[in-house]
A and B are shown apart, each in its own frame.
Chain A
Amino acid sequence: MRRKGIGWLLALSLLSGCADQKILEKIGFARTIILEKAEGQDKALKVTISIPKTNQTESIVYTDVARSFKQAKIHFDMQNDRRIVLGQLRQVMFGASLARQGVWLPMESVFRDPAIGIRTHVIVAEGDIGRFVTRKYVQGGTMGEYIDNLLRSDPATRGQFDTNLHTFLRDYYDDGAEPVATIIGETVEGLKVKGIALFVRDRYVAKIQAEDAMFFSLLRSDAKNVSLFMDEVETPRGAGSISLANVIGKRKIKILSPPDPNRKKPARIVVELKLKGSLMEYDDLLEMNNLASQPVLERAMGKYVADRCERLIREMQKPGADGIGIGSHVRDRMRYKDWKALDWNQAFSDAEIEVVADIKIRDYGRLIDASA
């Protein structure tokens, strides 16, 4: 039976062409797609595509202005010596100005293609993106690989959360959350995570500075191995900076009361953070070997984190971009009709949101105290 089957299959394979073969060395896999606004042209996109060469340090870059991403891809196919495929795409980068205009149409074209993995990173790029792709990086490899590794390894700004096609689309469709994306910009040494882009629907509306990004990650999900730097922690002995490493913790969103637009009552929400980390730097703010002073320091840090997070939330409230998904918690407390009638972006702007942070020092490294 088997051998007969194989015979049949061989016959069939002879009949069929090899159109669907994607033999490794005969295809060019795009690593990065960059989508920008075409200057001075309406309804046009500037599309750049980067295909790494097999020597691992160079890449082929094509740029084109076209009506859509797919049209540009056809143009690239006309130039490239290998068929361009998108299955190994790692990043979709949007120029900041395009992102401010709205990314839905190109986004839809990317997401619809079943070849493209839904783990592809979504990035908003600042600065002269054309240079990003052609530049040489001391970090080694091509830009695509560099960014990919950067986004995986960087705990300082983003904690553990990932901004990829899946999370973007998921939050885009979720009526209780708004999508976010990582912002990447250029420095002398290479590229840098410059912050987090807040979206309302598909429009990039506000930016969270890189310094605040770690606090944003605390608000967005449970902290897993985040590094926190606090520059002005107020203690009874004066203000100073503290650095906490390996922070893990829980985030809890408590809805004290859901919004009631009829009675003009805004939502009242408390975000509770419970964090634990290793103290890595502190300006001799208190005597650490005095057991009573540690809770004082913890409280001081808690207040700092809460204030910082609240400031962050105010910033997010201005454009009404609920990047941390408070809406999905509020939704749990409302009736369907009320929720549907509610404009959550507006309600988020109006909401009274308080942050409470409880920080515990797990350990303080090698030294108990600096002076003494």
Chain B
Amino acid sequence: MADGKGNDAGANAAEKTKPTLALVAESVKGCADCLHEKLAGSGAELIYFPTLVDLDCLQRDLIRPLSQASPEQLNSLLSGAPYRTATDLKSCAKSIMDGAAAVFAGQDVYLFDAPKSTGRKIEQSETETIITGPHDGFVEALEENLGVIRKRIRSPKLKSVALEVGEVAKTRAILLYVEGLANEQFVTMLTDRIQDIEIDGVSDANMLVQLIDENPNSLFPQYLTTERPDAVVSKLLGGRIAVILDGSPSVFSAPTAFLEFFSSPDDYYQRWPIGTALRILRLIGFLITICFTAFYVSVTTFHYEMIPHTMLLNLAESRSRVPFPPLIEALLMETTIELLREAGARLPTKIGQTIGIVGGIVIGQAAVQAGFTSNILIIAVAISAIASFVIPSYIMSASLRLIRFGLIVLAGILGNLGLIFGIGFLVVHMAGVTNLGTSYLTPIAPAKFMDILDTLVRGPFWALKKRPSLSRSPNKTRAKIKR
């Protein structure tokens, strides 16, 4: 950042400065991977980064023709496409960094764009796998990602705004929206926010969203990030705005509400009753993951009356050998599960399996037999953990797992009332969260009945005639299907 500020004056001057060989060479000085060659035939000089340019293309379309040409032919040869003239030093340097080769022919400087495509090919997303539906996922390269989206929305109405993030890194970002569907106000708001970021660099979209949300201290993610192009396309068509960041396989869309984190694109590929059942299942998963262990703690610590008498003695028997109070017991087990999960995530798949087996035996059998925990708690913890993975968004699922700890502590202090207090705090907090000025709790509060058809449940397509009200789209109708 400091660097950026210091160079401001210089940068302004550079804009007017005509690029010369000496100046350009100066700007890339110290970059060992930068190549500076002089071509034999025409005498033109080249400056480029072999790491950034496609060398085949360069050889074929630049070096070979220029080597064969005479110095007199040089300027006429370079005057047309695919070569362009560089007018100022700053953009010239930037183009070189983008993968262009600078050609110095006498006083004039030309640029030849031959960016090398690097990174992996389009493949399935590892964090968001689905069974039916398109299997391609975003990759790190911005162009690839943009291409995947453009292929799906083949309309010039899909507008893109090029942005730059990071004072030093200058990572490219593209803001996408469909003209006429997206709310222009949101587009300006989001563009401004991204432009206003002053930071050295941003390495992932999930990091970028934290720099532009309204509630930086909230536990909840406020922009939906996804690695699935079909999800982004459906958001764009719903009137949302999407932002692709170069180098990040996650694309985020805005505005977003809480319940969107519980829907997955394949809900739409199933028949609607099944899609609805899945949505409800995930909401049940949400409740279980935040409340179930806490409820166990509350019941075993304070509300023994609630346990059915058939279960009571078994539970008491199992508990009787445990040295810890339920609160500590539950926190220990939850921490163990989190340790296992974290360890599994850090390790390569093959070793990860070992972790699963070790964990399964340790927490499943041995812990109960050793009198370390009660067997019902194992079930509670396991169900909570499984339920947390039902939530399609990994970021949200991680947030909920942390909230679970808070609720467990509250339940251990005030029993069921503590649990309800905790839920109360959550609701109060969420009522204050906004995303681009829209309510995080839409469509519950403010209530939008048409939206509930596409959030809590997945209504049949003939019922989903309107775009989500959250996007405040100027064009509200999305389908004109008759039953």
> Which residues of A come within 8 Å of B, CB atoms?
1-3, 5-6, 9-10, 12-13, 20-25, 27, 29, 31, 52, 54-56, 85, 87-88, 90, 115, 117, 145, 148
- A6 in contact with B428 given A20-B302, A24-B315 (CB within 8 Å): no
Across the interface, do A24 and B219 meet the contact criterion of CB distance under 8 Å? no
How far is it, in angstroms, between the C-alpha of A88 and the C-alpha of B314 when the chains are bound?
14
- A54 in contact with B316 given A2-B406, A22-B302, A88-B304 (CB within 8 Å): yes
Residue of A nearest to B428 (CB): A1
Most buried by B among A5, A24, A31, A90: A24
Asked if B450 is an interface residue, CB under 8 A from chain A, the answer is no
Across the interface, do B302 and A21 meet the contact criterion of CB distance under 8 Å? yes
CB-CB contacts below 8 Å: B295-317 with A:
300-305, 307, 309, 312-317
Which listed residue (B316, B414, B425, B426) contacts A24, Cβ 8 A? B316
- A5 in contact with B425 given A25-B319, A54-B316, A54-B320 (CB within 8 Å): yes
How far is it, in angstroms, between the C-alpha of A54 and the C-alpha of B314 when the chains are bound?
7
Asked if B243 is an interface residue, CB under 8 A from chain A, the answer is no
Across the interface, do B409 and A23 meet the contact criterion of CB distance under 8 Å? no
Across the interface, do A24 and B304 meet the contact criterion of CB distance under 8 Å? yes
How far is it, in angstroms, between the C-alpha of A90 and the C-alpha of B307 when the chains are bound?
13
Residue of B nearest to A1 (CB): B429
Asked if B130 is an interface residue, CB under 8 A from chain A, the answer is no
What's the tally of chain B residues with a CB closer than 8 Å to chain A?
Answer: 31
Across the interface, do B317 and A55 meet the contact criterion of CB distance under 8 Å? yes
Q: A10-B413, A23-B301 are in contact. List 5 more A-B contacts (CB 8 A).
A: A2-B425, A13-B413, A21-B325, A25-B316, A88-B304
Chain A nearest CB, measured from B158 CB (Å): 39
Which listed residue (A23, A29, A54, A88) contacts B326, Cβ 8 A? A23
Asked if B380 is an interface residue, CB under 8 A from chain A, the answer is no
How far is it, in angstroms, between the C-alpha of A22 and the C-alpha of B298 when the chains are bound?
10
Asked if B322 is an interface residue, CB under 8 A from chain A, the answer is yes
Q: When each residue 395-434 of chain B gets 1 if its CB lies under 8 Å from chain A and 0 otherwise, what string results?
A: 0000000000010011001100010000001101100100
| B406 contact set on A, CB distance < 8 A | 2-3, 6
Which listed residue (B301, B325, B410) contacts A9, Cβ 8 A? B410
Which listed residue (B301, B312, B322, B410) contacts A21, Cβ 8 A? B301
Across the interface, do A148 and B309 meet the contact criterion of CB distance under 8 Å? yes
Chain B nearest CB, measured from A89 CB (Å): 9
A-B contacts, 27 listed (Cβ < 8 Å)? A1-B428, A1-B429, A1-B432, A2-B406, A2-B429, A3-B406, A9-B413, A9-B414, A10-B409, A12-B413, A20-B302, A21-B301, A21-B302, A21-B325, A22-B301, A22-B303, A23-B301, A24-B301, A24-B326, A27-B304, A54-B317, A55-B317, A85-B304, A87-B305, A88-B304, A88-B307, A117-B305
| B426 contact set on A, CB distance < 8 A | 2
How far is it, in angstroms, between the C-alpha of A233 and the C-alpha of B432 when the chains are bound?
76
| A5 contact set on B, CB distance < 8 A | 425
Most buried by A among B305, B414, B426: B305
| A20 contact set on B, CB distance < 8 A | 302
Chain B nearest CB, measured from A33 CB (Å): 15
- A52 in contact with B313 given A1-B425, A6-B410 (CB within 8 Å): yes
Across the interface, do A88 and B322 meet the contact criterion of CB distance under 8 Å? no
Which listed residue (A6, A25, A90) contacts B409, Cβ 8 A? A6
Chain A nearest CB, measured from B28 CB (Å): 48
Chain A nearest CB, measured from B305 CB (Å): 3
| A88 contact set on B, CB distance < 8 A | 304-305, 307, 309, 312
| A85 contact set on B, CB distance < 8 A | 304
| A29 contact set on B, CB distance < 8 A | 304, 312
Residue of A nearest to B305 (CB): A87
Across the interface, do B313 and A54 meet the contact criterion of CB distance under 8 Å? yes
| A87 contact set on B, CB distance < 8 A | 304-305
How far is it, in angstroms, between the C-alpha of A286 and the C-alpha of B483 when the chains are bound?
62
| B315 contact set on A, CB distance < 8 A | 24
Across the interface, do A56 and B313 meet the contact criterion of CB distance under 8 Å? yes
Which listed residue (B320, B410, B428, B432) contacts A25, Cβ 8 A? B320
| A1 contact set on B, CB distance < 8 A | 425, 428-429, 432
Residue of A nearest to B426 (CB): A2
CB-CB contacts below 8 Å: B273-313 with A:
300-305, 307, 309, 312-313
The 10 closest A-B pairs by CB, nearest first: A87-B305, A54-B317, A25-B320, A13-B413, A25-B319, A24-B300, A2-B425, A24-B319, A54-B316, A24-B316
